[in-house]
Structure 1
Amino acid sequence: METFDAIVLGAGGAGLMAAGVAGQRGRRVVVLDHADAPGKKILISGGGRCNFTNLHTAPDRYLSANPHFAKSALGRYTARDFLAMVERHGIAWHEKTLGQLFCDRSAREIVDMLLGECELGGVTIRLGAALGEIGHADGRFTVRHGDRHYAAPSLVIATGGPSIPKMGATGIAYDIARRFGLKVVEPRPALVPLTLPGDEALFRALSGVATPVVARAGKVAFAEAALFTHRGLSGPAILQVSSYWRHGDPVTIDFTPDVMPGWLVAAKRARPRATLTQTLDLPARLAEVLAARLAIGELGATSDRALIEAERRLSDWRFEPNGSEGFAKAEVTVGGIATAALSSKTMEARSVPGLYAIGEAVDVTGWLGGYNFQWAWASGWAAGQAM
């Protein structure tokens, strides 16, 4: 039995962050993972350049059964704090749209940075073996990892959620949480493409066409690009609303977000022989499909009333998704270990001293664009400071 001050389950972003912080505070930490390499999801993120944080991080950009839970951790370890670490390690970065920060070169630099921080803290990392029995008695946690056994007064659940199972993701975090009496908010795929039923095959024929829109689901709206796929809808705007979408609810798209009311009637007065397809400032294939669905050809041959109705439809086009592409294509998970059981300051379970849950394993899910990485860093830092 090898003894440590803390055992961290999961060598992803949150786990490595927590381990590095605790190690540099003088704690003896071991990180255990079944994967053969650390930070695998980091490496594939952002097209291989890792969208590692977002300058506009704020608690209202996260979903949780308790919308206030993330405030403490996000406030105590900010995007600027993580950026300072990135710059300290000499990693070149750039800002894309909407505050999204990426590595100039490779996501590998973020993984190497986290491993470097762990090395500074003397952290032990053990990979490539399955997690076995986990016990708890007399204030000490025990974990079997392959044929080795570990013991420590602190245990950190940082095994993520079930999104992207081809990367080895599982729901083991929830099994561990339930083992200790913690509740789990039902997990579901988030930041995921939505699928359309057969009667929307005409739109699926537009596979590969993208355009800026405003997409809405429930009370939220996102102004970004939507992409038609052979299965349905994707692109940043759709991924964003997918986190809020519930089965049976519609998703509406404004294909003309930048026009003034009455624009089609005005276009008719200016160019009566122009068709709706020619008038729409959209990709040609999409304009043709929308015009066909609206049954409008030349503007001059169409009544003002019909054009006003077309304006309304184009600004509030209703889709009825029949599902999503599931955890296989989901970037993250909504739901997870219930925050009601955790301290928002330390991430420690109130009913099980020494047990912590961080990152995607917890019921805190960010928007697309670096927000989920910032939650990993912030929650990992909070636990690392507390252990």
Structure 2
Amino acid sequence: MIDSYDAIVLGAGAAGLFCAATAGQRGRRVLLLDHAEQVGKKILISGGGRCNFTNIHTGSDRYLSQNPHFAKSALSRYTAQDFLALVESYGIAWHEKTLGQLFCDQSAKQIVAMLLEECARGGVVVHCGDAIGGVDHADGAYRVRYGDHEASAPALVIATGGPSIPKMGASGFAYDLARQFGLKVVQPRPALVPLTLPGEDTLFRELSGVSTEVIARIEGKGKGAPAFREAALFTHRGLSGPAILQISSYWQRGDTVTTQFVPDRAEGWLKQAKRDRPKATLRKLLCEDLPDRLSQALCDRLGLSGDLGNLSDKALGAAEAKLARWPFVPDGSEGFAKAEVTAGGIDTRGISSKTMEALKVPGLYAIGEAVDVTGWLGGYNFQWAWASARAAGLAI
């Protein structure tokens, strides 16, 4: 027996849950499927268990895509304020951290419970724990096999995400399915991921666990490339922390990442310090802004010791320039296992920006992380999940 629905949504993460709820509350008969035993597993671990559910500074300029204008439509029609209103309607207490990031006061479980209640209000049938056995399309209907069941519907939504965090069950299923129906895929790669450093930077591995605020950039990317002022963290394998995770989404093999270690110091500060405090050492000065161990490591690398008064202006100028753009050439990243999201994905040039429907495959939709739209760290990817899900849910 084949069960009949108006829409089948594959993937019960943020995008899938919200899309199913939106369509269901419009009177559509919706089946929501996920191979995991429970819904919203990535939601539950996000934000340290408190779910950074959106960002009040959301705008299309905070997203990467080979089709850079694609996200504008959905993001403008369902905003961070819209989702916040839904959160508040459920009495979920929240707070703003730095840079517009909104978190639950208590637990990410509240967001999952809210989304499940929204699905229940729309009569959505939620089925978890069975892998998808196959998907076919004929006579205007998509037929999906899962476990011992089969279902069909004129609309099918791909909301299975990307391969980041495979231990959570993530895979490239979305891309295989997209290709099956003739959609192109932009090469997926890890994003928001720690970067690894080669052997010549072993000195910095001794600083594992040390963190400091920096401005991180990718050298030579031009004026349009973003710079991120947040914490950087040294690890036993390389670099992490919010500033590095942000820049990793733009990093490509061979690129040089630069960090500005004393971002609040005005140009010429070392030469001025020489005049004002000739008996001070460079290490003493750096310790006023940076952790002791990092200050010592930087001084060792710069090869400057002794009182500032005994150092030439040229040497101090060179040291200041390097501290302002300290170069690292990563040899890779920690991969999908440690990546918070996936860059690349289903090519949005084959998808309607208004409805998320494939332009040449009627009834097939793709939303959330599955498509080639990747947000910055800090709630932007959740907001894309909500916005793209809403667009598809209103179109089905």
TM range (shorter): over 0.9
- Residue by residue over 1:21-72, the C-alpha shift from the partner in whole angstroms, topping out at 9 and shown as x without a partner, is 0000000000111000000000000000000000000000000011100000
Structure 1 counterpart of 2:172: 171
CA distance in 2, matches of 1:214, 1:278: 22
TM-superposed deviation, 1:220: 2.1
Q: Find 1:223's aligned residue among 219, 229, 239.
A: 229
TM-superposed deviation, 1:364: 0.2
Structure 1 counterpart of 2:66: 65
Alignment of 1:280-319 (within 5 A): 280=286, 281-297=289-305, 298-319=307-328
- Residue by residue over 1:208-246, the C-alpha shift from the partner in whole angstroms, topping out at 9 and shown as x without a partner, is 111110000232210111000010000000000000000
What is the SS of the residue equivalent to 1:68?
coil
- Residue by residue over 1:95-137, the C-alpha shift from the partner in whole angstroms, topping out at 9 and shown as x without a partner, is 0011000000000000000000000000000000111110000
Alignment of 1:110-125 (within 5 A): 110-125=111-126
Query: One-letter code of the match for 1:348?
Result: E
Structure 1 counterpart of 2:267: 261
Structure 2 counterpart of 1:202: 203
What is the SS of the residue equivalent to 1:329?
coil
Structure 2 counterpart of 1:352: 361
Structure 2 counterpart of 1:91: 92
Structure 2 counterpart of 1:20: 21
Query: One-letter code of the match for 1:287?
Result: S
Q: Does 1:270 align with 2:276?
A: yes
- Residue by residue over 1:295-329, the C-alpha shift from the partner in whole angstroms, topping out at 9 and shown as x without a partner, is 11121221111001100000010000000000000
What is the SS of the residue equivalent to 1:142?
strand
CA RMSD, Structure 1 to Structure 2 (Å): 0.6
CA distance in 1, matches of 2:217, 2:267: 19
Structure 1 counterpart of 2:215: 214
Structure 2 counterpart of 1:329: 338
Instruction: Report the more deviating stretch, 293-302 or 89-98.
Output: 293-302
Query: One-letter code of the match for 2:109?
Result: R
CA distance in 1, matches of 2:242, 2:385: 21
CA distance in 1, matches of 2:273, 2:296: 17
Query: One-letter code of the match for 2:381?
Result: N
* Structure 2, unpaired ranges of 5+: none
Structure 2 counterpart of 1:52: 53
Q: Does 1:250 align with 2:259?
A: no
Question: Identity of aligned pairs, percent?
Answer: 70
TM-superposed deviation, 1:272: 1.4
Structure 1 counterpart of 2:79: 78
What is the SS of the residue equivalent to 1:327?
coil
CA distance in 1, matches of 2:77, 2:277: 58
CA distance in 2, matches of 1:101, 1:256: 28
CA distance in 1, matches of 2:330, 2:349: 32
CA distance in 2, matches of 1:255, 1:305: 19
Query: One-letter code of the match for 1:104?
Result: D
What is the SS of the residue equivalent to 2:336?
helix
* Structure 1, unpaired ranges of 5+: none
- Residue by residue over 1:332-364, the C-alpha shift from the partner in whole angstroms, topping out at 9 and shown as x without a partner, is 010000001100000000111100000000000
Structure 1 counterpart of 2:352: 343
Query: One-letter code of the match for 1:336?
Result: G
Residues paired across the two proteins, number = 387
Query: One-letter code of the match for 1:213?
Result: V
Query: One-letter code of the match for 1:220?
Result: P
Q: Does 1:152 align with 2:190?
A: no
Query: One-letter code of the match for 1:24?
Result: Q
Structure 1 counterpart of 2:381: 372
Instruction: Report the more deviating stretch, 242-251 or 269-278.
Output: 269-278
CA distance in 2, matches of 1:7, 1:286: 53
- Residue by residue over 1:57-92, the C-alpha shift from the partner in whole angstroms, topping out at 9 and shown as x without a partner, is 000000001110000000000000000000001100
Return structure 1 stretches of 4+ with deviation > 4 angstroms: none
CA distance in 2, matches of 1:133, 1:59: 35
Superposition TM-score, scaled by structure 1 size: 0.99
Instruction: Report the more deviating stretch, 200-209 or 269-278.
Output: 269-278
Q: Does 1:238 align with 2:247?
A: no
Query: One-letter code of the match for 2:4?
Result: T
What is the SS of the residue equivalent to 2:214?
strand
